[in-house]
């Protein structure tokens, strides 16, 4: 066996994440590594924190990147806020709510499930019914933007309901952050986590998290030690939270932090509202193209995520074969369906740097070409003009 350097093919990433990483962020990643306690790195960490507070729209002091992927952000929120014996209401309308249930169980707590159909938003009425039926619940958890289905839930209303019934809240904002409005302070979210590889278009492997006052109080007054040493916020705060007095906890992924800083800088330069507006406009253009072909989005209009478009696979079309041709012939990645939606939908992402006009035209042209070639029952040659009409408006 011989070994040689790995050079990945150049892909256009239009799945559920990772999204395309802009050259500017890749360049930041390749800058020289310095020590993770070097005073200049400590300054960088302070800026990362301030920029995260901006993109999350929060003044929470306990806002920081966890050195691990979005799933670790999820786990960090659960292990710190859930104690053995607690009752936790989990709203599930896709894959990621199921993972929340797993987290609750592994904390030795009891999950109370509130189910909604995959592709629907979480129903506030069902949550309220569960809160009334379980007055001893202490926490409500839900996914703001369900990447497995492309549905967005009304986080503000769900958090309000939880608070009215004396519950803290954990919100999954992995896919919503920087793609659609997320207002942590205004909506009074207690704990929120995200990821870097979706609408921030950074390299995967880091999870921004933020904890509000009520959550902090709960974390510092726990009856049991946090079951995870690595994710215990009481310990991590010593590294991220104390300015010059930073103590060693773990070695931060130094270069990945350069990349995250650059990604956050890009959102700051564009302006958060402008980033939200860009995601929305590009979604409308992609949708116009798809609908002209006769391909339908599966989520009702008010709950559609602009950054993740789940569409029904046309009758008789071989899901895997089409995705393989898009990848092999067009270097274009789109996402397959997950769980209940496997084989039924494609998930077309327009996240962060992938939410660009050239990606929309590339995707529509490639899809049109492959579907025409296999004789799929869709309209050909109409997608691009329909999308361009929206973009020109």
Ligand X SMILES: *Cc1c(COP(=O)(O)O)cnc(C)c1O
Q: List interacting residues with ligand X (CB under 6 A).
A: 17, 69-71, 74, 96, 143, 147, 172, 174-175, 195, 204
First-to-final CA distance of the chain? 57
Give me the least distance between CB of 97 and ligand X, in Å please: 9
Question: Is the CB of 175 or the CB of 355 nearer to ligand X?
Answer: 175
Lookup result for tokens 């004396």: 166
Question: Is the CB of 19 or the CB of 361 nearer to ligand X?
Answer: 19
Whole-number Cα distances in Å, 96 to 105, 108, 226, 304: 15, 19, 22, 17
Question: Is the CB of 178 or the CB of 366 nearer to ligand X?
Answer: 178
* Nearest Cα to Cα of residue 295 among 387, 176, 198, 388: 387
Distance CA 282, CA 311 (A): 16
Between β-strands 87-92 and 139-143, what pairing exists: parallel, antiparallel or unpaired? parallel
Give me the least distance between CB of 57 and ligand X, in Å please: 18
Give me the least distance between CB of 88 and ligand X, in Å please: 17
Question: Is the CB of 69 or the CB of 294 nearer to ligand X?
Answer: 69
Determine the residue with CB nearest ligand X: 70
Give me the least distance between CB of 365 and ligand X, in Å please: 27
Give me the least distance between CB of 104 and ligand X, in Å please: 15
Question: Is the CB of 141 or the CB of 143 nearer to ligand X?
Answer: 143
Question: Is the CB of 148 or the CB of 361 nearer to ligand X?
Answer: 148
Cβ atoms within 10 A of the Cβ of 228, count?
16
Helix (H) or strand (E) holding 120: none
Distance CA 190, CA 212 (A): 5
Q: Helix, strand or coil for residue 12?
A: strand
Give me the least distance between CB of 38 and ligand X, in Å please: 27
Give me the least distance between CB of 252 and ligand X, in Å please: 17
* Nearest Cα to Cα of residue 350 among 287, 291, 256: 287
Question: Is the CB of 89 or the CB of 383 nearer to ligand X?
Answer: 89
Give me the least distance between CB of 144 and ligand X, in Å please: 8
Question: Is the CB of 91 or the CB of 288 nearer to ligand X?
Answer: 91
Distance CA 161, CA 70 (A): 26
Between β-strands 145-146 and 151-152, what pairing exists: parallel, antiparallel or unpaired? antiparallel
Give me the least distance between CB of 371 and ligand X, in Å please: 27
C-beta of residue 96 within 8 angstroms of C-beta of residue 147: yes
Question: Is the CB of 181 or the CB of 204 nearer to ligand X?
Answer: 204
Q: Helix, strand or coil for residue 332?
A: strand
Lookup result for tokens 């619940």: 137
Alpha helices by DSSP H, listed for the chain, are: 23-29, 39-56, 70-81, 95-106, 124-133, 155-164, 213-220, 233-240, 254-270, 272-293, 319-330, 357-373, 383-392
Question: Is the CB of 289 or the CB of 352 nearer to ligand X?
Answer: 352
Give me the least distance between CB of 311 and ligand X, in Å please: 17
Lookup result for tokens 């569409």: 311
Q: Helix, strand or coil for residue 336?
A: strand
Distance CA 92, CA 81 (A): 19
């Amino acid at each position: 066996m011989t070994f040689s350097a790995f050079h990945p093919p150049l892909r256009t990433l239009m799945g559920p994440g990772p999204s395309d990483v802009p050259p500017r962020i890749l360049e930041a990643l390749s800058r020289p590594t310095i020590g993770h306690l070097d005073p200049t790195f400590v300054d960088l960490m302070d800026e990362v924190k301030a920029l995260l507070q901006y993109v999350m729209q929060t003044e929470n002091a306990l806002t920081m990147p966890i050195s691990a992927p979005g799933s670790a952000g999820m786990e960090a929120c659960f292990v710190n806020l859930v104690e053995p014996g607690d009752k936790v209401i989990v709203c599930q309308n896709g894959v990621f709510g199921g993972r929340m249930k797993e987290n609750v169980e592994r904390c030795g707590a009891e999950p109370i499930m509130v189910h909604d159909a995959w592709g629907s938003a979480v129903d506030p009425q069902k949550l309220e019914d569960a809160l009334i039926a379980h007055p001893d619940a202490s926490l409500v958890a839900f996914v703001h933007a369900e990447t497995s289905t492309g549905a967005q839930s009304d986080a503000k209303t769900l958090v309000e309901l939880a608070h009215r019934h004396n519950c803290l809240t954990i919100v999954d904002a992995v896919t919503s952050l920087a793609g659609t409005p997320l207002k942590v302070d205004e909506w009074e979210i207690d704990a929120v986590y995200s990821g870097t590889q979706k609408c921030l278009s950074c390299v995967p492997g880091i999870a921004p998290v933020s904890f509000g006052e009520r959550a902090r109080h709960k974390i510092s007054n726990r009856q049991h030690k946090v079951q995870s040493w690595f994710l215990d916020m009481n310990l991590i705060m010593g590294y991220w939270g104390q300015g010059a007095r930073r103590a060693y906890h773990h070695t931060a992924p130094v270069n990945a932090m350069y990349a995250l800083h650059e990604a956050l800088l890009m959102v700051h330069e564009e302006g958060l509202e402008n980033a939200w507006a860009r995601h929305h406009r590009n979604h409308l253009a992609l949708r116009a193209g798809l609908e002209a072909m006769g391909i339908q989005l599966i989520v009702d209009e008010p709950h559609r995520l602009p950054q993740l478009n789940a569409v029904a696979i046309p009758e008789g079309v071989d899901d895997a074969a089409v995705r393989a041709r898009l990848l092999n012939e067009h270097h274009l990645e789109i996402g397959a369906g997950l769980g209940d939606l496997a084989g039924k939908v494609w998930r077309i992402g327009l996240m962060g740097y992938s939410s660009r006009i050239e990606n929309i035209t590339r995707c529509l042209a490639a899809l049109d070409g492959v579907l025409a070639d296999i004789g799929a029952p869709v309209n050909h040659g109409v997608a691009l003009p329909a999308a361009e009409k929206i973009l020109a408006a």
